[in-house]
Amino acid sequence: MRKENTMDSTEAPPLCGCCRRVPVSHLALDVSEPLVGWEAFFAAKSIEVASDHLGRPSVARYVLSDLLDEQREREARLAEEVANAATLNQPVPVVGIPAREGLSAHENMMAQDGYTSLRDEFERFPRPSFLDEEFARTREHQRAEQEVARRREKAK
């Protein structure tokens, strides 16, 4: 007499103790190996590495599931960063003085309305009289000293 299969077709068969572990060497098929190596990686995350039924170092199945989830999240984040970088590299619209062909930047600024040269800007204000007065006093003092020196020469 045949024994009927009582399991539903969508239901997974129960896992034996051996099937609940994934050999560390098989992780590289689905997940890229960390730079420090699997042993150091698992030690840093306090994940137990035990031997499977063939004596190979292995980890629990949920560890592989977590690693795959982390890898998917990392790839999604990197894809988002690449998309954001693509929008940041778009040319910035030019705001300011419109360019005219055949003119340098300085000539272009000078051609705009409201441009005032430095000479025009500083000639709008009265020149400082203090310096002019001091220069005039210095010249008068020098002339007076020269006159005194000439008189002494004549008196000798």
pLDDT band at residue 146 using 50, 70 and 90 as cut-offs? very high
The one-letter code for the residue type at 144 is: A
**Tokens (6 digits) for 77:** 């984040």
110-125 pLDDT per residue, tens:
777 777 777 777 776 6
- Maximum distance among all Cα pairs of the chain, rounded to whole angstroms: 156
**The pLDDT of residue 150 is above 60:** yes
- Residue whose entry in the numeric block shows the structure tokens 């020269």: 146
**Got the DSSP string for 71-130?**
HHHHHHHHHHHHHHHHHHTSPPPP-SSPP-TT--HHHHHHTSTT---HHHHHHTSPPPHH
Query: Between these two residues, 156 and 62, which has the higher pLDDT value?
Result: 62
pLDDT (0 to 100) of residue 147: 94
* Residue bearing the bigger pLDDT, 69 or 87: 69
Residue 131 pLDDT level (bands cut at 50, 70, 90): confident
In tens, the pLDDT along 13-54 reads 565 555 678 888 888 888 888 888 888 988 998 888 888 888
Share of the chain above pLDDT 70, in %: 79
Check whether 140 has a pLDDT greater than 90: yes
